[in-house]
Amino acid sequence: MGCRDVHAATVLAFLSGTASVAGLLAAVLLPNWRQMRLYTFNKNERNVTVYTGLWIKCARFDGSRDCVIYDPQWYTAVDQLDLRVLQFALPLSMLTAVSALFLCLIGMCNTAFVSSVPNIKLAKCLVNSAGCHLVAGLLFLLACAICLTPSVWVIFYNNYLNRKYEPVFSFDISVFIAIASAGGLFFTSILLFLWYCACKSLPSPFWQPLYSHAPSMHSYASQPYSARSRLSAIEIDIPVVTHAS
């Protein structure tokens, strides 16, 4: 498998990265990071579930879809440390993953639409497709770590809240979406690393563009023409035949 072609691995990595970013966006926006169940012993009243997100909080009666209490300013008064960390970690993870997607797209477009014969005048401006995918894989791995660590911490912090107060707290679906998205980012980075390792057979340096390494550039460049031929330095004696009168 050569680096100059767009392969299923890079396309699948781009689609997987896009789906993971979409999952992170859904996890950030959904108000379903933590539930708090409030029970009542009055038969005439219904139990209340408080849905806590990163930005808003909503309280609903059991069996109802409408929010009895809706707090759109919750993000300014978050009193739970894990959610406060997630407010910074998840947008940072999304930004890192989007940067990786941009680099991956540059590498794919370069391999798909750039001619295989390089332009010597633009040798310093050539895009290194393998380098783009390598850096994109590293950024996807970094985005996975930034997202996964605080998302898993929510589970342990939820147990801490149940021990400190009462066992009324439980983590919600956004935790699973964030962890699944982190898994997608890790899978994307592995695909890009495998693609890069398959390209190591090419005679290309680590960071230099594939089309501008020294052997190929000299093969396209015209050889210097010597001013004098080697034969010009050799004296050739031409015999002269004279006829006697």
Which CATH fold would you assign to the domain 3-31+77-111+125-197? Answer: Butyryl-CoA Dehydrogenase, subunit A; domain 3 (1.20.140)
What confidence tens digit (pLDDT) does each residue in 170-201 have?
888 999 999 999 999 999 999 988 888 776 55
Domain boundaries along the sequence of the chain: 3-31+77-111+125-197
**Is 0.85 surpassed by the pTM of this model?**
no
Cα separation, 100 vs 14, whole angstroms: 9
Mean pLDDT over each residue of the chain, to the nearest integer: 76
Q: What percent of the chain has pLDDT over 90?
A: 29
| pLDDT attached to residue 98 | 95
Q: How sure is the predictor about 244, in pLDDT bands with cuts at 50, 70 and 90?
A: low
Task: Taking residues 70-85, report their average pLDDT.
Answer: 83
* pLDDT given at position 218: 43
* pLDDT score of 76: 81
Residue 113 has pLDDT above 90, yes or no: no
Flag the least confident range among 4-8, 37-41, 173-177, 226-230.
Answer: 226-230
Q: pLDDT of 130-140, one tens digit each?
A: 778 888 999 99
Whether residue 75 contacts residue 67, with contact meaning beta carbons closer than 8 Å, is answered with no
The arithmetic mean of pLDDT across residues 82-111, rounded, is: 89
Q: Which residue has the higher pLDDT, 131 or 159?
A: 159
